[in-house]
Structure 1
Amino acid sequence: MTGPIAIVGCGLVGRAWAIVFARAGRDVRLFDSVPGAADAARRQIARDLSSLARQRLMDRPETVLERIAVAKSLAEALDGAVYAQESVFERVDVKISLFAEIDGVIGPGTIVGSSSSGIPASAFTEGLRCRERCLVAHPVNPPYLIPVVELVPAPWTRSETVAAVRALMEQVGQVPVEMSREIEGFILNRLQAVLLMEAWRLVEEGYASAEDIDRTVSHGLGMRWAFMGPFETIDLNAPGGVADYARRLGPLYQRIAASRPEHKVWGEALIAKVEAQRRETLPAGQLARRGEWRDRRLMALAIHKREIERQEAEDALAADEATR
């Protein structure tokens, strides 16, 4: 897929997507229905690009910014675009309204991906003329630092559409993962939901504080999960691999699952308890600064992973040459 990229919705996620595509050399058009929002987004993108450059994750941020233009209308943003990334408010009625507008002006060659975190594309694309070219392309924010993208087709999405978006995401440096069909929450949020459910319950029942649960993940599980997933983790954690692990520890996990016969909604009292614990650890006025800290840590991790991958590629090449 070659040609311009349209970003529809210029909030936090839309701005981050613009960086992904422009960084990869694609021309990007920003559009937001709120007057002035796209211009403000471009100014924020300039600041974000400067931060990436300072961390050595980008060269010549001014050149990248030059590829990002503001469109005056939705039709202008979509005109000739090969792909559009929708990133508007996470509400079904908002997406239905927007996709109806898109359907009225979209060209025959444009594919549309939605940044929806959990709403399936079938909920807002049914009845559209362009529905075969629509799917969910859900990122983890910010996608220019966290590359995974969930591709989730609606029942009517053409397989060629999914293949084209997968190829595009790979071209711009993302890591696409593909679902065969829709399920609420997709992959990432369903996995996260299980962990969050247990985290809230452990606090509710007084087994541990919110801070110590966070430490367990950030200094424990997260250390491995930064470079491998749960199946590879357990595959390496038993002498005989994943089957051996399942036989050894399967009964433990079955007992844990059985101990939670139902998932409870997080009640207001529990939310207040965790909120109080979090505000003791991080006052509300420091949330934005801590978010910036998170992004710097993600940048450092991205640099480290890039260096490791480069070294592994060099080692593999050297080993291959040694065997010739």
Structure 2
Amino acid sequence: MAANPVTAIVGAGLVGSGWALVFARAGCQVQIFDPDEATRSRLLPWVRQSADELQTVGLITEADAVVARIQLCDTLEEALDGAAYVQESVFETVPTKTQASLAIDAAMGPDTIVGSSSSGIPASHFTSDCRNRERFLIAHPVNPPHLVPVVELVPAPWTDENAVTWTRELMDRVGQVPVQVTREIDGFILNRLQGALLNEAWALYDEGYASLADIDATISHGLGLRWSFMGPFETIDLNAPEGIADYSARLGGMYHQMAMQRTARAWPEKTVERAQQERRQALAAADLAGRRAWRDAMLARLAAFKKANGLGP
């Protein structure tokens, strides 16, 4: 692998533009393509603003150099020219990803590897007809990827093991935290864990046990504080005198009993409508973009703190 391989981004939305920053700040030349003119017009101003914020909090030292490494391309072929790695970040539907994968497949180099930002759709659903399908895999980030470093690597049944290894090494090199999933499963690891929490949160809200704000507070001012630097297994390992087995002996039965009280169900439409009203009272729709920018600023400061204290990549 070259020290700073040329990377291509296909899809310049929130996730794709975040990926551009990931690779550019690591020293890679980034070639990015999106067919939508409105999305293209927003890319470079957003990159400029975000790079300046990263420099302000000390996550990068030369914002100008990072921005200069990002090239907005007019065609897919131009973006893929010379690229060792492609990060596909198009809209998440099987037809859209199939179309994008086939187009990338036709234009990619003989050794190029392609990672998809799919957040839950396995690669086998949209790469089966690619002639180079052994070099396609899932590389699922968290949004925004330049501030939340974990990335799930999930091979399709036909993905070459060397492609997974190469991608893992690349993600390590550019400062991400790769999580290798051994085989396909809908939702992968992150969204299955997030889904379990969301399903219980919706059930508690639907049954009237607490407001959205209070349920959110149990995470933002409770569980989330620990989870920002340790996972669930380390958390329970430290929460019993003799560690994880002791915790299981003490509380495993309680968790099993709670799980048995639940059955899988769709999120109730009327409850979602009620939640929408409650959230819009707390945050007007016109203020959503500003709140996202605030979120990113807080994540940047948290990332800087973790880096300064040896808790980040």
User: TM-score band, normalised by the shorter chain?
Assistant: over 0.9
Q: Which amino acid aligns with 1:40?
A: R
1:173 corresponds, among 172, 175, 191, to 175
Offset at 1:12?
0.8
Residue 104 of structure 1 is matched in structure 2 by 106
- Deviation track 1:263-301 (CA, whole Å, cap 9, x = no partner) reads 211122100111122122222222222212211111111
Give the aligned residue type for 1:299.
A
SS of match in other structure, 1:125: coil
Corresponding residue number in structure 2 for 1:189: 191
> With structure 2 as the length reference, what TM-score do the two structures score?
0.96
Work out the CA distance in 2 between the residues paired with 1:37 and 1:223.
Answer: 35
Identity, % of aligned positions: 54
State the secondary structure of the residue aligned to 1:49. helix
Q: CA RMSD in A?
A: 1.4
Which whole-Å CA distance do the structure 1 matches of 2:273 and 2:65 have between them? 47
2: CA distance, partners of 1:196 / 1:45: 31
Question: Who is 1:292 aligned against?
Answer: 293
- Which residue in the other structure is 2:302 paired with? 301
Give the Cα separation in 2 of the matches to 1:197 and 1:78: 40
Counterpart selection for 2:61 from 59, 62, 76: 59
Distance 1:38 1:276, change over 3 A: closer
Which of residues 31, 34, 37 in structure 1 aligns to 2:36? 34
Letter in 1 for 2:270: A
Tell me the equivalent position of 2:214. Answer: 212
- Matching of residues 69-88 of structure 1 within 5 Å: 69-88=71-90
Quote how far apart the aligned CAs of 1:7 are: 0.5
Distance (Å, rounded) in 1 between the aligned partners of 2:181 and 2:50: 31
Q: Is the 8 A contact 1:30 1:38 kept in 2?
A: no
Q: Which amino acid aligns with 1:137?
A: A
Contact 1:86 1:112 (8 Å CA) reproduced: yes
Equivalent residues in 2 for 1:110-121, closer than 5 Å: 110-121=112-123
| Distance in structure 2 (CA, Å) of the matches to 1:273 and 1:73 | 44
Unaligned runs of 5+ in 1: 313-324
Whether the 8 Å CA contact 1:20–1:143 is kept in 2: the answer is yes
SS at match of 1:62: helix
Which residue of the partner structure matches residue 157 of structure 2?
A: 155
Cα deviation digits, residues 211-240 of structure 1 (max 9, x gap): 100000111100100000000000011111
Q: Distance in 2 between matches of 1:115 and 1:29?
A: 16
| Unpaired stretches in structure 2, ≥5 consecutive residues | none
SS in structure 1 opposite 2:301? Answer: helix
Return the alpha-carbon distance in structure 2 between the equivalents of residues 279 and 38 of structure 1. 29
Q: Are 2:151 and 2:178, in contact at CA under 8 Å, matched by a contact in 1? A: yes
Q: Which has the larger radius of gyration?
A: 1
Q: Look up the match of 2:128.
A: 126
How far is the alpha carbon of 1:36 from its aligned partner?
6.1
Equivalent pair of 1:31/1:72 in contact (CA under 8 Å): yes
Cα distance in 2 between the residues matched to 1:245 and 1:206: 30
- For 1:321, the equivalent position in structure 2 comes to none
For residue 207 of structure 1, report the CA deviation from its aligned partner: 0.7
Structure 1 CA distance for aligned equivalents of residues 40 and 86 of structure 2: 15
Q: TM-score, normalised by structure 1?
A: 0.93
Letter in 2 for 1:95: K
Q: Give the letter for the 1:300 counterpart.
A: R
Letter in 2 for 1:285: A
Q: Decide whether the 8 Å contact of 1:39 with 1:70 is kept in 2.
A: no
Q: Which moved more, 1:88-97 or 1:72-81?
A: 72-81
Contact between 2:102 and 2:129, CA under 8 Å: does it hold in 1?
A: no
Deviation at 1:199, TM superposition (A): 0.3
The 8 Å contact of residues 152 and 180 in structure 1, kept in 2 or not, is answered as: yes
